[in-house]
Amino acid sequence: ITACEGTIVRIACGEHLNDMGVNTAADAGFYCGEIKCKKGRNVYMNCIHRTTGRYMQLFAETDDLTIHYAGIISESYPVDKDACKFKCNDSLHNKINKNAKNTLIMCMKEYYEDSPYNRMWMSSMNARIQMLAGYYAFGEYDYAKESLYKMAESIRKDGMIEVSVPLKNEFTVPCFSFMWIIAVKEYVLFSGDIKAGMNLYNIAADIIRTFWLMTKGEDLIPNINNGIPSIGITPFL
């Protein structure tokens, strides 16, 4: 960028242009970076951890600005995109298959993200579906295993897995902990990794024991609030 001294340039990235431009304040978040230019040509690179990259928009309150280049360097977890040999005579189904794979790859960082845009965390309910898709699409097992271990590290004092990892939350969704157990079972079935299953077995058993103790012979579990059981049914979000 060539600009005058002190020119403020805001850089926004987003997935759609429904607001006649990139939305910089989606879901009460602020999806926009800011740089302050020196006089002349400025070269700026920010190796940020996560961002979306379908659209980029620059904002500057000046008429004296030259953009020489603006772009995003994409980097993703290495997978075998050709592991699933899907091809049919319907071009729409082929496009859906390609887009589905790309969407899954965009959600693969250190762990499976709920979304590459504004929900950059992992929940066991969504991650379980992503893992199943990854087994079929890429034959990928190591990534799923690390995601399962990451969730296992988030066990709360009340015996439940955090609703979103690696965040700390005041609430939990009990069925998400059960879904983690199902994801572990499916991982072992698809990968044949009995060792990992044995390593995670005790955590699964503790979760089941926690549910059993909380029900006290009843059909429903009590409400969980900050780890303190109270009367009522745990509501879904």
User: For 27-45, what is each residue's pLDDT tens digit?
Assistant: 545 567 889 999 999 998 8
pLDDT digits (tens, 9 = 90+) for 147-202: 999 999 888 887 888 888 887 777 778 888 889 999 999 999 999 999 999 999 99
Determine the Cα–Cα distance for residues 133 and 104; give it in Å rounded to an integer: 8
Q: Around 38, how many Cα atoms within 13 Å sit in the side-chain half-sphere? A: 4
User: What is the distance between the alpha carbons of residues 130 and 79, in angstroms, rounded to a whole number?
Assistant: 14
The pTM for the full model equals: 0.74
Residue with tokens 């893992």: 131
pLDDT at 77 over 60: yes
pLDDT in tens, 92-149: 999 999 999 988 988 888 888 887 766 677 888 889 999 999 999 999 999 999 999 9
Give residue 39's pLDDT. 94
Contact status, residue 34 vs residue 60, Cβ threshold 8 Å = no
